[in-house]
């Protein structure tokens, strides 16, 4: 198994060391014509990932923006996880309470 630091270094050399945050706040969704619901979250995340996946080593979703949708939050989060795995991205999930 490759250590996280080795994998990040490998991806950063091949793509970049950028780590875009995925912060789908209500205003961010609305100004892109998306609803503030799990489907809107998923569409927003798909757009961000489509634009960035082959250019970055890691993504950083702010989980508070997902958790505010209660039990339905898992659908868009699981979609991001599938996309992340398919694109070979690393993931730094920020818990609802902020950086730890």
Q: Residues 36, 26: contact at Cβ < 8 Å?
A: yes
71-99 exposure pattern, b = at least 16 Cβ within 10 A, e = fewer: eebeebbebbeebbeeeebbeeebeeeee
Nearest CA to 56 out of 5, 4, 8 is that of 8
Domain ranges of the chain: 4-91
pTM over 0.85: no
Encode the chain (100 residues) as per-residue pLDDT tens digits.
678 899 999 999 999 999 998 889 999 999 999 999 989 998 999 999 999 999 999 999 888 888 888 777 677 788 888 888 888 899 887 666 655 4
Q: What is the pLDDT of residue 94?
A: 67
Q: What is the pLDDT of residue 51?
A: 92
Q: What is the pLDDT of residue 98?
A: 58
Q: Which residues pair with 94 in a beta bridge?
A: 62
């Amino acid at each position: 198994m490759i250590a996280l630091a080795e994998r990040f270094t490998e991806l950063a050399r091949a793509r970049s060391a950028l780590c875009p945050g995925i912060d789908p706040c209500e205003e961010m969704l609305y100004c892109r014509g998306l609803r503030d619901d799990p489907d809107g979250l998923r569409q927003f995340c798909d757009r961000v990932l489509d634009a960035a996946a082959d250019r970055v080593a890691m993504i950083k979703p702010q989980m508070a923006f997902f958790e505010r949708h209660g039990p339905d939050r898992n659908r868009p989060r699981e979609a991001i996880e599938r996309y992340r795995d398919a694109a070979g991205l690393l993931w730094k999930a920020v818990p609802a309470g902020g950086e730890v």
